[in-house]
Amino acid sequence: MKRHDDIWIMAAQCPSRLGTVDVVTRFLKERRCYITEQQSFDDRLSGQFFIRTEFRPEEAGFDADAFQTAFAERAAEFEMSSELTPPGRLMPVVIMVSKADHCLNDLLYRYRTGQLPIDIRAIVSNHPDLASLSEWHGIPYHHFPITAETKPEQEAQVWQVIEESGAELVILARYMQVLSSEMCTRLSGRAINIHHSLLPGFKGARPYHQAYEKGVKLVGATAHYINDDLDEGPIITQGVEPVSHADYPEDLVAKGRDIECLTLARAVALHVERRVFLNRNRTVVFQR
Amino acid sequence: MKRHDDIWIMAAQCPSRLGTVDVVTRFLKERRCYITEQQSFDDRLSGQFFIRTEFRPEEAGFDADAFQTAFAERAAEFEMSSELTPPGRLMPVVIMVSKADHCLNDLLYRYRTGQLPIDIRAIVSNHPDLASLSEWHGIPYHHFPITAETKPEQEAQVWQVIEESGAELVILARYMQVLSSEMCTRLSGRAINIHHSLLPGFKGARPYHQAYEKGVKLVGATAHYINDDLDEGPIITQGVEPVSHADYPEDLVAKGRDIECLTLARAVALHVERRVFLNRNRTVVFQR
Amino acid sequence: MKRHDDIWIMAAQCPSRLGTVDVVTRFLKERRCYITEQQSFDDRLSGQFFIRTEFRPEEAGFDADAFQTAFAERAAEFEMSSELTPPGRLMPVVIMVSKADHCLNDLLYRYRTGQLPIDIRAIVSNHPDLASLSEWHGIPYHHFPITAETKPEQEAQVWQVIEESGAELVILARYMQVLSSEMCTRLSGRAINIHHSLLPGFKGARPYHQAYEKGVKLVGATAHYINDDLDEGPIITQGVEPVSHADYPEDLVAKGRDIECLTLARAVALHVERRVFLNRNRTVVFQR
Amino acid sequence: MKRHDDIWIMAAQCPSRLGTVDVVTRFLKERRCYITEQQSFDDRLSGQFFIRTEFRPEEAGFDADAFQTAFAERAAEFEMSSELTPPGRLMPVVIMVSKADHCLNDLLYRYRTGQLPIDIRAIVSNHPDLASLSEWHGIPYHHFPITAETKPEQEAQVWQVIEESGAELVILARYMQVLSSEMCTRLSGRAINIHHSLLPGFKGARPYHQAYEKGVKLVGATAHYINDDLDEGPIITQGVEPVSHADYPEDLVAKGRDIECLTLARAVALHVERRVFLNRNRTVVFQR
């Protein structure tokens, strides 16, 4: 048996108040659940409390529904929201792409080999280019072209795929269209984008060319939740890579690919392992 | 008020058993202590449990002695050992050096500017070279020369300084003598050494020259607790730096200085913030 | 036109002697070749000189054969060996694998998207597992099983593929068999292996388990030329990744995959761009 | 003898044109100077060529003046500017500070132990705080207070110290005043500033607080030449450090100190070793 095979994850947050940890840990003990790993953090500035617990029921026949109902009751006085993730669960996701395939290819490899606990339900693109790659992995590919005029219709199509697929997470793996404000709101906290620069350094288009112009000695990538404010959503994780004068813009693009793949994959892993919490326009991330 | 000004730290460990987290968190709640940060880990292989808690008493007049006595009673059934560290406490330390001064200089700077919560009670050396640096900082400097014959006497002198100064931690900041087995045993878990290589890569003497011979492309440093087995004590943290063919042994030595300073300072900070736990020949380190 | 489209590369080495740079640069000027990038290094300890030049012929009709013949004559008195690589050249390679596919998958992606200037002529394995992945990329897959008894025959088969394919480089992408001494000699300087530890730290089998046992805080990977002395060949590049107490051996294996892929791909890129020179049991690597 | 004891450095640049390398290397050979290390780069976009050469005269009695005069004549047709640096030369510098002492302390340590080939002629500050630290190192300390009204006079005083000390480099080691446009022009290419963020991310005041607000997961520092455009001068090198949700602004400030020290020291070393060339608003940096 691998070490995670019997481990449940509980993630919760609420306003700061005496007893926030106790309400979780006492409940777990009463239910005879052994805590194997726990992290909590209280943000003094936002007045919010966050807790993530890995635990193993000591007795057979753990009843998740009963557990959640009872815990909700117990935690009500703390206004605590919580999520319970069973061992081995694969989170249903939809991936959105345009033409660049490096991030998609990387995610598909990790998916295929079981390195990322996700279940890719569909791939959506505004271009047809990546259909065959998707098909080789046996994943439905939806090509929804987009123009300025057809944007609302296109987003309605995208939304339908997300809804019908049951996706809990949308991964923008170098999807080069700006989502509408409505779409951002609907996907708040459950859509991760990879921006190919170290935000807030170079927002907008062609960040590697901007980086070249400025002569920076480091380039990077930022994985963040999308929100209304393009390239300004809460940051999950960032990666960085040294560059030199001998790197022309096309070299920076090439060097950036690796760091984009790694940064996006790390962000997705953190999210599906329930390690990321929204804290206003920032995040709390419990690293392993 | 700075954010740490009212934060107590409790660090504890015991054999794995249902209720280990609860016994800590329930007690804190009963005593009206608010947990601002907590990390726990259960090592499935060693069967040991570790927990570190930062908390803030909600009411004035927190009585540490009463707290500890009551907690010891409560936790007795878990065979739990624990330590309580008050806000702003400076841990008393003794630093041991030989001739190289880079690590000492770095520690003294952090000490002088309040970046490391330590109280340097004495500096001990087998050479006279670093006396004036110590004196400028107003710290007693003990020069105890050593030869193969006088080693037992010299170590007795060192031990006396440690004892009389009340040091809880001994920092071997490039002390180039091997401690006797007795001394290692006495200092188990409370003496940190900086080894100038990425252990277990290059043990023993002149690791940079070994690294050059092997043509490695990375050099590093390892901070570890000392034990009987030279250069094999439990590792706390490691640092690394890229090198190239153009780095001769003397260049590796120079590059290594920075990484040694940073790695040792980080290990000391982790130790005095009670983030490090011994787990047989390994460590558990709760990073911030 | 991309920046590399008209750039030739010349790599040369010889014993140290006055005029080693001049013999290269004067010749290039006479032939009206403009040097866009040049790096040279003289190893004082081994008494060897290394030079790598990128240049652009200023006139049309550059005759590579005439250039090489004339240069060989000119450089003869320096006992200089040299190689000339035309713009856009793809180096023919054979990849050897066993069952693990992460490095192969990564190399195939870079190959397919033109990120690595290689031409994969064949994939050889002692297992049948990775045949379909190879076939999807349209690359011949040779399954040559091996036992202790059949090793000489199997290596003869492997050698035949290398010979007939015209491969100039063999990439051991987690090939889990030890090559015979004869094979190592034949492939000296043109076979790159990825070892999944920071050599010389953990040689031999299961290095991640060794790393876990020792409680190291960094794991890494080493790309090196193979030689007779298993896991001791000249190091090309190394990568590293922090780990924690919460990483069990299987987590180290998983974390190691990314660093293995990146380290191997970087070594291959350095090699095919003629940036690596053998310098006895070490290497000279001219980074961009 | 250490390896650098007999090594001269020649750094040169000019517009791109056939023969730029040859004019340097042929001259060196004629003068019987052996090239131990050389790097050149042609920037296709700016049309500028850069070359750095380390060499060792093979015969005694090397006459630097004669060498330079003759080379200037030879290189005139290329409009090449060049500098010759003798072995063991210490570059005269002036350091400017305000109240923060971490960068100054670090530079003084490297200076005192011979790790940086500089000769600190004076320290200038708008505050008296760091006088005793300077005095312990035996370096003249000039306290020139500044107000909006007295800025021109203060800068005149500063300039006088720079002039009279013969400083070739001015290091702004957390000097918290904006230099006037005239001062920036006068110091163009020979004043290095450390900015405590990853430019162009967070310009202006309190970058760590800005970083906290944005919730970034990496902080960094940028060493750059000053120019008229505050925080926008040509970048020499940048350093970076991961941070987490648990780092409050004061923690970011503390973490930033180490990376500021290291980044500034690295930039100064690159400059005094003649590894940095101005290339319009960018730099060419030949790393070792």
What is the SS3 string spanning D83-142?
EEECCCCCEEEEEEECCCCHHHHHHHHHHHCCCCCEEEEEEEECCCCCHHHHHHCCCCEE
CA quadruple C201, C202, C203, C204: dihedral, nearest 10: 180
Q: How far is CA A161 from CA A97, A111, A112, A157, A175, in A?
A: 14, 20, 21, 6, 16
Token pair of A185 as six digits:
């709101």
User: Is the pLDDT at C2 greater than 80, yes or no?
Assistant: no
Q: How far is the CA of C12 from the CAs of A184, B124, C21, C79, in angstroms?
A: 56, 54, 10, 10
- Positions of E strands within D135-198: 141-143, 169-172, 191-195
d(CA A244, CA D105): 29
**What is d(CA D9, CA D27) in angstroms, rounded to the nearest whole number?**
14
The yes-or-no verdict on residue A48 having pLDDT over 90 is yes
Question: For chain A, what is the mean pLDDT?
Answer: 94
Cβ count near D133 (within 10 Å): 18
CA D15-D17-D19 angle, 5° bins: 125
C-beta of residue D160 within 8 angstroms of C-beta of residue D142: no
Q: Do the chains contact at D109 and B113, CB–CB below 8 Å?
A: no
Evaluate the omega torsion of the peptide bond into residue A200 and state whether it is cis, within 30 degrees of 0.
Answer: yes
Pick from D221, C115, C86, D132: which is nearest to A257 by CA? C115
ipTM of the complex: 0.93
Q: Does the pLDDT of residue A2 top 90, yes or no?
A: no
Instruction: From residue D178, give the alpha-carbon distance in Å to each of D146, D157, D168, D205, D209.
Output: 11, 15, 20, 11, 20
pLDDT tens, residue by residue, A142-181: 999 999 999 999 999 999 999 999 999 999 999 999 999 9
Q: Look at residue A204 and tell me whether its pLDDT is greater than 90.
A: no
Which chain C residue has its CA at the smallest distance from A101's CA? C113
Q: Which residue has the tokens 């300087």?
A: C189
Per the omega criterion (within 30 degrees of 0), is the bond before C15 cis?
no
Task: Kindly report each contact of residues A99-102 with a partner whose C-beta sits within 8 Å and lies 24 or more positions away, as own/partner.
Answer: A99/A127, A99/A129, A99/A130, A99/A176, A100/A174, A100/A176, A101/A129, A101/A130, A101/A133, A101/C113, A102/A174, A102/A257, A102/A260, A102/A261, A102/C109, A102/C113
pLDDT digits (tens, 9 = 90+) for C49-93: 999 999 999 999 999 999 999 999 999 999 999 999 999 999 999
Residues in B lying within 8 Å of C, measured between beta carbons? 41, 43-45, 198-202, 214-218, 220, 234-238, 240, 244-246, 248, 279, 281-285, 287
Q: What angle do CA C288, D6, D11 make, to 5 degrees?
A: 45
Q: Is C231 a catalytic residue?
A: yes
What residues pair up with A191 in beta bridges, in sequence order?
A170
Give strand pairing partners of C8: C55
Q: What average pLDDT does the structure give for chain D?
A: 94
Strand bridging mode D118-125 / D141-143: parallel
Residue C14 clears pLDDT 50, i.e. is over it:
yes
Between CA C121 and CA C139 the distance in angstroms is 7
For residues A208-215, average pLDDT: 89
DSSP one-letter string for C50-119 = EEEEEEEESSS---HHHHHHHHHHHHGGGT-EEEEE-TTPPEEEEEEE-S--HHHHHHHHHHHTTSS-EE
Domains of chain A: 8-85 (3.30.70.260), 91-285 (3.40.50.170)
pLDDT over 70 (residue D213): yes
Mean per-residue pLDDT for D280-286? 95
Q: Pick from D148, D146, D228: which is nearest to D191 by CA?
A: D228
Q: What is the pLDDT of residues C168-198, one digit of tens each?
A: 999 999 999 999 999 999 999 999 999 988 8
Percent of chain C with pLDDT over 90: 87
Residue A201 — very low, low, confident or very high, per pLDDT cuts 50/70/90? confident
Which amino acid type is present at position A188?
S
- If pLDDT is split at 50, 70 and 90, which confidence band does C1 have? very low
**A54 confidence band (pLDDT: 50, 70, 90):** very high
* Amino acid code (one letter) for D146: I
> D287: Cβ–Cβ under 8 A, 6 or more apart, which residues?
A244, C287, D270, D275
Q: What is the 3-state secondary structure (H, E, C) of C140-193?
A: CEEECCCCCCCHHHHHHHHHHHHHHHCCCEEEECCCCCCCCHHHHHHCCCCEEE
DSSP state of A115: S
What is d(CA C216, CA B276) in angstroms, rounded to the nearest whole number?
14
State the Cα–Cα distance between residues A104 and A81, nearest whole angstrom.
32
Supply the pLDDT for residue A3: 58
**SS3 for C221?**
strand
H or E element in which residue D28 lies? helix D20-30
How confident is the model over B168-190, as pLDDT tens digits? 999 999 999 999 999 999 999 99
CA B242 – CA B219 distance, rounded (Å): 6
* Residue C170 dihedral angles phi and psi, to the nearest 5°: -115, 130
Task: Place A1 in a pLDDT band, splitting at 50, 70 and 90.
Answer: very low
CA distance A28 to A75: 12
Look over chain C and give the mean of its residue pLDDT values, rounded to a whole number.
Answer: 94
HSE-CB for A67 with a 13 A CA cutoff:
22
Q: Write down how long chain D is.
A: 288
Q: How far apart are CA A184 and CA A227, in angstroms?
A: 5
pLDDT one-digit tens code per residue, C227-251: 887 678 999 999 999 999 999 999 9
In this complex, the residue of D3, D22, D32 whose CB is nearest that of residue C29 is D22
Contact A109, A128 (CB under 8 A): no
Query: Mind telling me how many Å the CA of B284 is from chain A's nearest CA?
Result: 12
pLDDT digits (tens, 9 = 90+) for A102-122: 999 999 999 999 999 999 999
Other beta carbons within 10 Å of A164: 11
pLDDT of residue C161: 98
| pLDDT greater than 90 at residue D35 | yes
Q: What is the pLDDT of residue C5?
A: 82
Contact A25 B28 (CB under 8 A): no
Classify residue A233 by its DSSP letter.
S
Q: Which residues of D touch C18 (CB under 8 A)?
A: 29, 32, 34, 58
C-alpha–C-alpha distance, residues D270 and D192, integer Å: 11
Catalytic residue among D6, D129, D231, D258: D231
Chain C closest-CA separation from residue A209 CA (Å): 15
Contact C277, C268 (CB under 8 A): no
Residue B131 pLDDT: 97
- Give me the helix-helix angle, C207-214 and C249-272, nearest 10°: 120
Q: Among partner residues B115, B251, B257, which is closest to D254 by beta-carbon distance?
A: B115
Subunit partners of chain B (3 or more CB pairs within 8 A): A, C, D
- Strand-strand pairing, D91-97 and D169-172: parallel
- Cβ separation A288–C247 shorter than 8 A: yes
Q: What is the identity of the amino acid at B92?
A: P
Q: What is the dihedral of CA C218, C219, C221, C222, to 10 degrees?
A: 60
Percent with pLDDT over 70 in chain B: 98
Question: How confident is the model at residue B241, as a pLDDT?
Answer: 93
What is the phi/psi pair of residue C36, to 5°? -95, -25
> Using CB atoms, which residue from D115, D136, D254 is nearest to B254?
D115
- Encode pLDDT of B7-41 as tens digits: 999 999 999 999 999 999 999 999 999 999 999 99
**Measured between CA atoms, how close is D180 to chain B, in angstroms?**
32
* Identity of the residue in A113, A248, A288 whose CB atom sits nearest the CB atom of C3: A248
Indicate which residues of A carry an active-site annotation.
231
Chain A contacts to C (CB-CB under 8 A): 2-3, 37, 101-102, 105, 109, 113, 115, 136, 244, 246-248, 250-251, 254, 257-258, 262, 288
Query: What is the enclosing helix (H) or strand (E) of C214?
Result: helix C207-214
Cβ neighbours of C19 in D, within 8 Å: 29
* A191 three-class SS: strand
CA dihedral B133, B135, B139, B142 (to 10 degrees): 90
Alpha-carbon gap, residue C95 to B229, rounded angstroms:
42
Element (H, E) at D68: helix D64-75
Q: Is a pLDDT exceeding 80 seen at residue A257?
A: yes
Contacts with B164 (C-beta within 8 Å, 6 or more apart), sequence order: none
- pLDDT of D2 above 60: no
Task: Show the low-confidence residues of chain B (pLDDT under 50).
Answer: 1
